[in-house]
Amino acid sequence: MEKNLNIWFDKEGDFLELTIGKPVKGFFREIGDDMLERVDAETGKVIGFSILNFSKRFDKLKETKSLHLPIGIELKSG
């Protein structure tokens, strides 16, 4: 089943959110400093993640050319 990656950034709130597929009811679980994973309330599967204070991390990214996120992603070809 093909699912879209949705990216949303709130500049005023300095909040980045990435979700997979259509929106479903879920909850956030902290996974690191200002980082949260979004979990499907029905299945318990991770359906996205969010980064608070994203601009600070992005400024660091310009200097280091890398940004560590405490997540793993599995890619499969169809």
Residue 76 lies in a domain: no
Range of the domain at 10: 5-64
Instruction: Please give the sequence-ordered ranges of beta strands (E in DSSP) within the chain, or none if there are none.
Output: 5-10, 15-20, 26-32, 35-40, 46-52
Residue 70 lies in a domain: no
Q: Determine contact, residues 58/71, Cβ cutoff 8 Å.
A: no
Residue 73 lies in a domain: no
For the chain, what is the domain count?
A: 1
Residue 21 lies in a domain: yes
Residue 26 lies in a domain: yes
CB neighbour list of residue 73: distance below 8 Å, 6 or more residues apart:
none
Query: What is the radius of gyration, based on Cα positions, of the chain?
Result: 13
Residue 74 lies in a domain: no
- What is the pLDDT confidence band of residue 5, given thresholds at 50, 70 and 90? confident
Global pTM? 0.69
Residue 75 lies in a domain: no
pLDDT tens column, 20-77? 888 889 999 998 889 999 999 999 998 999 999 988 776 666 665 565 666 666 655 4
